[in-house]
Chains A and B, each alone.
Chain A
Amino acid sequence: EIVLTQSPATLSLSPGERATLSCRASQSVRSNLGWYQQKPGQAPRLLIYGASTRATGIPASFSGSGSGTEFTLTISSLRSEDFAVYYCQHYDDWPPTFGQGTKVEIK
């Protein structure tokens, strides 16, 4: 089973700042990685798949990069609605696994 490690666990930033979230895989997942956003009491929302392709309706302020074992989710300028928990998930083989999450909180 592939282990995904996200860092940092918590990111404290102000609105308007840039957020950079990392996800490292225990072995190569090629570009088969996605990112989700989850707010309290809500289901996860798909942001990115294929490491860098935005899902339908996702604003351009969200971007993903990386391949192999190192991936990054960047939020170019944080808005109030972006403060949430973010998970990466690989789908290179079964079972797909999730990282433990990065909480982006208001500083």
Chain B
Amino acid sequence: QVQLQESGPGLVKPSQTLSLTCTVSGYSVHSDGVYWSWLRQPAGKGLEWIGRFSSSGGTNYSPSLQSRVTISVDASKNQFSLRLTSVTAADTAVYYCARGWYDSGSGNYYPSGEWGRGTLVTVSA
């Protein structure tokens, strides 16, 4: 059974870089037919996609964040990471990593069925 766990600093200063890691157990991040995502949720608000990647579908970033975000993979550690630069208070949120199924035939990225518990990142001086 796949498990995902987010980790990283809970406090980041404005203008600095937010870096988080998602450690995956029970499934390879390089497996076909799946994609891996980062999402976030400010307190009391809705969910927002940050970006996703899959072995066969490449990487996509949110248009509103793409100038500041990078998602990378470390296959040797079965981890993937999020890097968000030049953060402001508006980036304060619970950050989730998640896994979903990708059908290369239809091009469908099905909704994520497995999520980490989330990690709160606060941007404050």
Residues of A within 8 A of B (CB): 1, 32, 34, 36, 42-44, 46, 49-50, 55-56, 87, 89, 91, 94-101
A56 to B108, CA, bound (A): 18
Residues of B within 8 A of A (CB): 46-49, 60, 62-63, 96, 98, 108-113, 115-118
With CB as the reference atom, state the residue of chain A lying closest to B110. A49
Q: Is the CB of B112 within 8 A of A46?
A: yes
The interface centre, meaning the residue of B46, B96, B98, B118 with most chain A CB atoms within 10 A of its CB, is: B46
Q: Is the CB of A43 within 8 A of B111?
A: no
Number of A-B contacts (CB under 8 A): 47
Q: Is the CB of B60 within 8 A of A32?
A: no
Q: Is the CB of A46 within 8 A of B48?
A: no
Q: Is the CB of A95 within 8 A of B110?
A: no
A91 to B103, CA, bound (A): 12
With CB as the reference atom, state the residue of chain A lying closest to B6. A43
Q: Is the CB of B46 within 8 A of A98?
A: yes
Not counting A43-B118, A95-B62, a sample of 6 additional A-B residue pairs whose C-beta atoms are within 8 angstroms of each other reads A1-B63, A32-B108, A34-B110, A43-B117, A44-B115, A95-B49
B118 partner residues in chain A, CB cutoff 8 A = 43
Instruction: Name the one of B109, B110, B116 contacting A43, with C-beta atoms under 8 angstroms.
Output: B116
Instruction: Name the one of A49, A56, A94, A101 contacting B111, with C-beta atoms under 8 angstroms.
Output: A49
A97 partner residues in chain B, CB cutoff 8 A = 49
The interface centre, meaning the residue of B60, B96, B109, B116 with most chain A CB atoms within 10 A of its CB, is: B109
Question: Can you name 13 A-B pairs with beta carbons within 8 Å?
Answer: A43-B116, A44-B47, A49-B111, A87-B47, A91-B108, A91-B109, A91-B111, A95-B60, A96-B49, A96-B109, A98-B47, A98-B48, A101-B46
B63 partner residues in chain A, CB cutoff 8 A = 1, 95
With CB as the reference atom, state the residue of chain B lying closest to A99. B46
A49 to B109, CA, bound (A): 11
With CB as the reference atom, state the residue of chain A lying closest to B117. A43
A36 partner residues in chain B, CB cutoff 8 A = 47, 111
